[in-house]
Structure 1
Amino acid sequence: MLTLEKFEQLVTEDLLETVVVAFTDHYGRMMGKRVDAEYFLDSVARGGTHGCDYLLTTDMEMEPVPGYSYASWELGYGDFHMVPDLETLRLADWLEKTAIVMCDLHNDKTHVLESVAPRSILKKQLEVIDKDGLKCFAASELEYYLLENSYKEAFQKNYQDLTPAGYYLEDYHILQGTRNEKFTSVVRRHLKKSGIPVETSKGEWGLGQHELNVRYSEVLPMADNHIIYKQCMKEVADAMGLSVTFMAKFATDQAGSSSHIHMSLWKDGKNAFAGDQQFGPVKGSDLFRWFLGGWIKYVPDVMPFYAPTVNSYKRFVDGSWAPTRLAWSYDNRTAGFRVVGSGPSLRIECRIPGADCNPYLAFAASLASGLAGIENKIEPPEIFVGDIYAAAHLPRVPYTLAEATTMFENSEFAKQTFGPEVVAHYAHFFRTEQSAYDKTVTDWERKRYFERI
């Protein structure tokens, strides 16, 4: 990471010329500006810069979307204030003479955090635990598909008949991992030099599917690292004439890509989940038990924060390594909630989010649900032992984005936790996404109906 003093030194030595000043939109895409390094020092580092508020209402195609109370043509699409979080300032090692910094978004008139910005939503939950002297540590395990086609070529081929960087299921295979080291080793090295500690990389279950894990940290830096990791990986792939996709379900006949979330609460430098009480094969504290109970209970209320696209829900298939039912178990990959570790490493892994999630929103939903569990002393269901895919009596995750959005929009928990204006804003965002899909003729429809209807 860079201090301003070190940053200024690198500028003086002509080793740094550009700063990417960034935030994420609702999709989790990195947005922002490139700023001259000297101008960053003179003005932006302390004074921030501006961006158009339509970026918190736009759709995937960057079209202004009507129906938002936050920003609209009627309101003139004004500015918000992008305020750099200097604790995130670092070299973007994969780019020449470039640094990157993540921003909070402030209202340009009131100078308070924009409530609908994803990073603001997570920071609001951190204010809750700060009052109790708690810290939240988290990790997100991102999976992705690596393809031998460039992004431009994939676009020109209408994303069909693409060539995965592997031709057999390669889960944990060292040989196939070696074949892709020309890409993966470069990403690992760039992430490490950009202040993101890397743990492991490995082949996953799908053709050309991989996972690269970075070290856990406090939850806000982890969300920032998640965003920068994805940006690094895409830009490195682009420079090498390859592509990666973080779609939750890239192909019907292949495994989905997840972003499993590991989370625990800490106090006074110790894991507050650790304890001596026995819960099946698990020993833990009341905080652990109630956090787990709340996290499971409120999944239906916040599901779009874990699964934000139409494609997200096509990942939830029995026997596919993705969870389909709301239950917990100890070290059981068929469970939506898998408890792992022991003692100081005890933590909860939520396997519901896909690789398409916005980490600020997914972490905020996870933390808020667990904190509600602690506040209300919510007991988790009995631990489940066995194949949860076969347990048809257990409650299932929502089937579609439309179903999940309705639950979210009607949830009193979501309104109390995030605020009615935030819920209304995101419900409109998710409905806009669903509507775009509903109006589009797909290849599946043409293949099914062109001749035979």
Structure 2
Amino acid sequence: MTLKGMLSMEELHTMAANEEIETIIVAFTDHYGRLVGKRVAADFFVEKIAEEGTHACNYLLTTDMEMEPIPGYASANWQKGYGDFHLVPDLKSLRIADWLDKTAIVLADVHNQEHQLEGIAPRSILKNQMKLLQTLGYTAAGASELEYYLFENSYRQAHEQHYQDLKAVGWYLEDYHILQGTRTENFHGRVRRHLQRSGVPVETSKGEWGLGQHELNIRYAEVLEMADRHIVYKQCLKEVADSMGYAVTFMAKYAEDQAGSSCHIHLSLWKDGKNAFAGKESFGGVACSPIFRWFLGGWMKYTPEVMPFFAPTVNSYKRYQDASWAPTRLAWSYDNRTAGFRVVGKGESLRIECRIPGADCNPYLAFAASLAAGLQGIKDQTAPPEAFSGDVYAAKELEMVPTSLADATALFSQSSFAKNAFGEDVVAHYTHFFQTESRAYEKSVTDWERRRYFERI
């Protein structure tokens, strides 16, 4: 059954002819997960771009947050002249952007000049893992649960205030509170309706544990479709907030005295229409299959080596604090929110929830890293540790997650697993990207430093 808001080319042709759709956004994500691309006239898209694609400057996968082209990348640089790559619309992702006037959006694959997937593009990295998954006869179902903070200030006001003294929409911790959630229904009711009408089916929304923090969950799907939904979701929330004079942030740790914002990743493998994780073995109190055990074992073993795909910014690592709802140590447990890997469900609903990624992750990279680690576990029949019982935060003997982007990048750059899974060119490219991000932070002078040292040092 076609989801409400998803469009076939036949439907788009009719809507464009009737001027119900006038603009098509053709976009892909950069390293950070930001949508970049073009707005195309609907009739031109129908006549030409849908089949032939369009072009964009290849510097878009070599820039920093400020859109400055960074030297040192092999894929694109000043010596090569910063040419174009080819954007090929994935028409399966074509959907109405209900929050915008007479607009549809399609996510594109990035191709190189040889008309092959550009290996360093985030969506390409996930698609390559899915190809490997399919050769083994599996599909993967996934979900990503996003948390965020909502403010009464506009983005422009927040910028002009240097992101200080912002007014959160809530003034007490509202986790699951209906009254406080009602106060933001002008925003959350609107985005739920827009998402429903844009091919992104919504399950729930609720208050979270921080002041003005919320969570809106969407239905699980095959992992590429889920990653696409994740991107559309974020874009919708940001643009609706902007139109209403609000601001929403997906920073992993917005404020030192507030809860971090996560992106819990749920995954299960399927084969012949059945959950391949389900089985009759008993392991840690879970009725499961060997595939479940090996996938979990690989995911846990290789997480430190792919950590930048889960936690890609300097800010990401400030979320990992004991007793904060964010995991700090590598352990698994059944329905235990102190564990980095929380197993939930049973039978056909059995799945692994990885609580390590933050809301700032690029979903294509996070899902790709999860699949690659799990599939390596299946290949090697990697046994996970025994299930942990109790408070993982108090278990000082357990291995901790990496504590900084610099440390995580060093592990990633030297990982033979990552090089085999993604390719040495991909590891080199993203190592340079993460190192660039770390160096930019190391050179900056922060408000914390001024408050601490200006007078008293």
Is 1:128 equivalent to 2:132 in the alignment? Answer: yes
Residue 133 of structure 1: CA displacement? 1.8
Residue 189 of structure 1: CA displacement? 0.2
Letter paired with 1:296:
M
The root-mean-square deviation of aligned C-alpha atoms, in Å, is 0.4
Distance between the aligned counterparts of 2:95 and 2:333, measured in 1? Answer: 39
What are the Cα deviations for residues 56-85 of structure 1, in whole angstroms up to 9, with x where unaligned?
Answer: 010000001000111000010000000000
Is 1:438 equivalent to 2:442 in the alignment? Answer: yes
Distance between the aligned counterparts of 1:402 and 1:130, measured in 2? Answer: 34
Distance between the aligned counterparts of 2:153 and 2:409, measured in 1? Answer: 34
Is 1:59 equivalent to 2:64 in the alignment? Answer: yes
What are the Cα deviations for residues 334-354 of structure 1, in whole angstroms up to 9, with x where unaligned?
Answer: 000000000000000000000
Residue 99 of structure 1: CA displacement? 0.2
Is 1:162 equivalent to 2:150 in the alignment? Answer: no
Distance between the aligned counterparts of 2:153 and 2:377, measured in 1? Answer: 46
Is 1:335 equivalent to 2:350 in the alignment? Answer: no
Is 1:282 equivalent to 2:286 in the alignment? Answer: yes
Residue 280 of structure 1: CA displacement? 1.9
Any residues of structure 2 matched to 1:47-446 within 5 Å, and which?
Answer: 47-107=52-112, 109-446=113-450
What are the Cα deviations for residues 3-57 of structure 1, in whole angstroms up to 9, with x where unaligned?
Answer: 0100011111111100000000000000000000000011100000000000001
SS at match of 1:276: strand
Residue 132 of structure 1: CA displacement? 1.9
User: Which segments of 5 or more consecutive residues in structure 1 lack a partner in the other structure?
Assistant: none
SS at match of 2:147: strand
Distance between the aligned counterparts of 1:294 and 1:440, measured in 2? Answer: 37
Distance between the aligned counterparts of 1:14 and 1:278, measured in 2? Answer: 58
SS at match of 1:298: helix
Is 1:11 equivalent to 2:8 in the alignment? Answer: no
Contact 2:129 2:372 in 1 (8 A): yes
Q: TM-score, normalised by structure 1?
A: 0.99
Distance between the aligned counterparts of 1:30 and 1:141, measured in 2? Answer: 19
Q: TM-score, normalised by structure 2?
A: 0.99
Letter paired with 1:406:
A
What are the Cα deviations for residues 170-194 of structure 1, in whole angstroms up to 9, with x where unaligned?
Answer: 0000001100000000000000000
Letter paired with 2:297:
G
Letter paired with 2:253:
K
Identity of aligned residues (%): 69
SS at match of 2:279: coil
Distance between the aligned counterparts of 1:16 and 1:303, measured in 2? Answer: 41
User: Which segments of 5 or more consecutive residues in structure 2 lack a partner in the other structure?
Assistant: 1-5
Distance between the aligned counterparts of 1:448 and 1:320, measured in 2? Answer: 25
Q: Which residue of 1 aligns with 2:30?
A: 25
Distance between the aligned counterparts of 1:437 and 1:314, measured in 2? Answer: 13
Distance between the aligned counterparts of 1:360 and 1:280, measured in 2? Answer: 30
Runs of 4 or more, structure 1, over 6 Å off, are none
Distance between the aligned counterparts of 2:286 and 2:140, measured in 1? Answer: 21
Distance between the aligned counterparts of 1:276 and 1:28, measured in 2? Answer: 39
Letter paired with 1:85:
D
Residue 320 of structure 1: CA displacement? 0.2
Distance between the aligned counterparts of 2:131 and 2:26, measured in 1? Answer: 25
SS at match of 1:251: coil
Distance between the aligned counterparts of 1:174 and 1:399, measured in 2? Answer: 35
Contact 2:17 2:43 in 1 (8 A): no
What are the Cα deviations for residues 236-284 of structure 1, in whole angstroms up to 9, with x where unaligned?
Answer: 0000000100000000000000000000000111111000100121110
Distance between the aligned counterparts of 2:161 and 2:71, measured in 1? Answer: 32
SS at match of 1:210: strand
SS at match of 1:275: strand
Letter paired with 1:73:
W
SS at match of 2:278: coil
Distance between the aligned counterparts of 1:304 and 1:140, measured in 2? Answer: 17
Residue 129 of structure 1: CA displacement? 1.1
